[in-house]
Amino acid sequence: MTKYIKLVVIFCIIGVSLISCNTTSPNKVKKSDAQKVTNIEYGTIKTSLPVKIEGESDWIGATAGAMIGGLLASQICGEEEILGTKCQDIAIVYGTIGGAAMGSVIQSKIGNHDGFQYIVNIDECGGDISNCQNDQDKAFVQGDNTPLSNGQKVVIIYGDVIRIMPYEG
């Protein structure tokens, strides 16, 4: 029984880690973005500033943490009673609540990564890219290890997520 619990705990921790290690890298595209028509804009990077992108938690981390906490707490106390309630039942309630809180915190911490905030001067091109005029500025945050250079021509790809990619055109 103890081997089984340890195995479940290890798989849950690995699962939460893999699910929560998402990034905002422009080079990683979700399967749902494949074979879709997306809108694009062209522009020029005006400034790039380093930012820390903080991970977020959702129900997955809390659920995995609650399961792990409840499983571990079920190994405490046995059949003893405290104020007419089995000690093990009390431990499971508190273990589940504490595990959910820990799972949520761990998932958000694992998702932290570096990125850059770009101010992009959007080109107004109409149908002819060779005759672009500057129209407006927009701000984007994107995860990556190295920034796009100021003055770099870029294409902004709008889909489920927005990506900024270097453009030589």
Domain ranges within the chain, ordered by starting residue: 1-24+56-110, 37-53+113-169
Flag whether the pTM goes above 0.85.
no
Q: Contact at 8 Å (CB) between 149 and 158? A: no
Q: Cα(63)–Cα(12) distance, rounded to whole angstroms?
A: 10
H helix runs in the chain, sequence order: 2-20, 59-73, 87-110
Taking only the tens place, the pLDDT of each residue in 39-97 is 888 899 999 999 988 887 788 888 888 888 888 888 877 677 766 677 788 888 888 89
Taking only the tens place, the pLDDT of each residue in 99-150 is 888 888 888 888 788 899 999 998 876 555 566 666 688 899 988 888 999 9
- Count how many Cα atoms sit within 13 Å of the Cα of residue 155 in the half-sphere of its side chain: 11
Q: Which residues pair with 166 in a beta bridge?
A: 154
